[in-house]
Amino acid sequence: MRASLQPNSRMCFVCGMQNPVGLKVRFYEEGADGVRAEVVIPEVYQGYPGVAHGGIVAALLDEAAGRALMIGDPMRFMVTAQLRVRYHRPVPMGQPLVLTARPLRIGSRVARAQATLHLHDGTLCAEAEAILIRVPAEIQAAFEAERPFWRVYPEESG
């Protein structure tokens, strides 16, 4: 099965293609089972020398968890109510990493997802479980101005 590219936004820190300080991560759906992205964390997001800041790692896991819930419905917007992160090892800067996530439960208002961040050789660096809720109406209304930018951007863009 061929993975399909999910839409990206304009200014999201993790997936915004026009955010000058963002990570510009592209997520691919791997069937109904989950999403996958490859990411290299730039040195500007360092915590200790040579190691990614834990907040950046958490942001990646958070975004991936939300993306897993969009499989088959790119307009299923949810926000994180709880994110439990477990760091297994320092995450290196400037190296290819694999970010994956899968839905655990999708309800009408609440969902759960699991996300992982691995080295390219499969070594687990961090994992998270998220509880997400439907986007509140006031946030959904504000999104309308951004809707034209929520799209699949060409691979060479960004």
Angle (nearest 5°) at CA 133 between 152 and 76:
25
Q: Are strands 110-119 and 35-40 parallel, antiparallel or unpaired?
A: unpaired
Digit-by-digit pLDDT tens for the chain (158 residues) are 568 999 999 999 999 999 999 999 999 999 999 999 999 999 999 999 999 999 999 999 999 999 999 999 998 999 999 999 999 999 999 999 999 999 999 999 999 999 999 999 999 999 999 999 999 888 888 888 888 889 999 886 44
pTM: 0.94
Domains of the chain: 4-147 (3.10.129.10)
Helix (H) or strand (E) segment spanning residue 17: none
